[in-house]
Amino acid sequence: MDPDLILRWLHVIGACVLLGTGAGIAFFMLIAHRSGDARFIAQTAGIVVLADLLFTTTAVIAQPITRGLLAWWLGWPLTEGWILASLVLYAMAGVFWLPVVWIQVRMRGLAQTAADRAVPLPQAYYRLFRIWFACGFPAFAAVLIILWLMIARPSIGWG
């Protein structure tokens, strides 16, 4: 099999994992949150944290590696407009994703404590959820735009 095809395939798989895991995590956390059930939220958040650790983190690490190797193999400079734009968006997504990981761990802990004590979820949980929810939009939008850039490879001039 040709290295170009293997690199493209690995890069696309990584992009699918980022998009799919992100969408899945958002869906499951939102459904659990809407239930208001601290035990269900804690269990769901535990699975979400594990999925982020196994899938999202792996893809986050693999994407720049496959991107760099693919660009090198095809002779595309990393300063090419659409590649540079995707790198900036990738960094932006990371800026929003990293706090979300910590927030999910914290929300899991708060929900587990509430479930163990049979008390309502604390206000800190709801504050963290609002931040988690708000961080998801720019991160998810950045990933969607990066996917579009990968497919369209538009000519983007930087001055």
Does the structure show a pLDDT above 60 at 28?
A: yes
Q: How far is CA 141 from the centre of its chain?
A: 10
> From CA 45, how far away is CA 39, in angstroms rounded?
10
Domain assignment present for 37: yes
Domain assignment present for 83: yes
pLDDT in tens, 84-134: 999 999 999 999 999 999 999 999 999 999 999 999 999 999 999 999 999
Q: Give a three-class secondary structure readout of 83-130.
A: HHHHHHHHHHHHHHHHHHHHHHHHHHHHHHHHHHHCCCCCHHHHHHHH
| Percentages of the chain per state (helix, strand, coil), in multiples of 5 | 85, 0, 15
Domain assignment present for 157: no
> From CA 133, how far away is CA 2, in angstroms rounded?
42
Domain assignment present for 76: yes
Does the structure show a pLDDT above 80 at 1?
A: no
Domain assignment present for 159: no
Domain assignment present for 17: yes
Q: How many domains does the chain have?
A: 1
Which one, of 50, 19, 17, 29, lies nearest residue 132 by Cα? 29
pLDDT in tens, 31-72: 999 999 999 999 999 999 999 999 999 999 999 999 999 999
DSSP assignment, residue 80? Answer: S
Contacts with 84 (C-beta within 8 Å, 6 or more apart), sequence order: 78, 156, 158
Contacts with 48 (C-beta within 8 Å, 6 or more apart), sequence order: 25, 28, 29, 104, 108
pLDDT on residue 159: 56
Domain assignment present for 65: yes
The residue segments making up the domain with residue 64 are: 3-151
Domain assignment present for 10: yes
The band of 4, judged by pLDDT with boundaries at 50, 70 and 90, is: confident
The band of 157, judged by pLDDT with boundaries at 50, 70 and 90, is: confident
pLDDT on residue 144: 96
